[in-house]
Amino acid sequence: MSSKLPRFRRYKTNAPLVSVIIPTLNEEHFIGTLLIGLKRQTYSNFEVIVVDGGEKGPSSDATVPIAKSFGARTLIRRSGTHADARNVASSMAAGEILIFTEADTYPPPDWLTSIVRSFRATTIAVAGPGIPLNAPRMVMLEYAIYNALRAVVSRLPRPLKHFSSSAYNVAIRRQAFEKIGGFSSLTLENIDGLLGRRLLLLGKARFSSPAYTFISTRRWQKLGFIRTNLHYIYVLENFINLLEPLLKPLKERWYRF
């Protein structure tokens, strides 16, 4: 696949430069759609960094050539986890705001604009909803409830307040990301949720409903409704801290799926 749209480039503007970071591994069926969505953004001052590979990489399909054809900065890694990949890409990013997403998402044209507008002077991080594409009604209902819950708990007073971040749609000021040491490589499960917890201890983080992006339902298609929910059971610890030790055995069991 090749792009007929302009290559990604930095524009001279007063708007902050943002870096969109995308980890990949054999994502040739999705990455082009995401990059087309980024080409169509109303916000212009951004760069795109694709970090491919990891301990099971690099990609053996056309992921890297597709990313390069769109003009994305592309890094190849042959070791490490997704957390490591995101951290390495962040260290090479030029943006004031780091935006993390995944290869099987598709952003609406105003996605980046909505994210940047959601930041206030004291805001260090913003998370937005994920809306499943072509999903059954049960999945759509589940995500509607999940996103509503994320919005509610983000507005509660401490210590009940939670910042439920997801790696497909979270933006963080560079200084805050560096101060907390980035994504933790100590666990493979819920690295984005645990990141949100550490960010909330550092400063003000908010959930912004307008900053939504569309997400894939491929896991539901592969595993079905029940097994997918068992895989994502760790999400509960993002709302109730006391559940973390109780959910650990289940996380370790289901993460391999």
Is residue 244 in a domain? no
Question: In what order do the strands lie in the sheet containing 123-127?
Answer: 73-77, 46-53, 18-24, 97-100, 170-173, 123-127, 204-207
Round to whole Å and give the CA distance between 191 and 180: 13
For residue 26, being part of any structural domain is answered with: yes
- Strand-pairing partners, residue 127, are 170, 207
Position 10 in a domain: no
pLDDT in tens, 210-230: 999 999 988 777 777 777 766
Within a domain: 129: yes
pLDDT digit string (tens) for 93-144?
999 999 999 999 999 999 999 999 999 999 999 999 999 998 889 989 999 9
- 97: helix, strand or coil: strand
How confident is the model over 23-47, as pLDDT tens digits?
999 999 999 999 999 999 999 999 9
**Per-residue confidence (pLDDT) for residue 217, from 0 to 100:** 87
Domain total in the chain: 1
Do the domain assignments include residue 89?
Answer: yes
Write out the residue range of the structural domain in which residue 156 sits: 18-218
* CATH code, domain carrying 36: 3.90.550.10
- In terms of residues, how long is the chain? 257
230 occurs within a structural domain: no
Domain presence at residue 7: no
Q: Model pTM? A: 0.86
Q: Could you tell me if residue 120 is inside a domain?
A: yes
pLDDT the model gives residue 7:
53
With left for phi above 0 and alpha for psi between -120 and 50, is residue 162 left, alpha or beta? beta
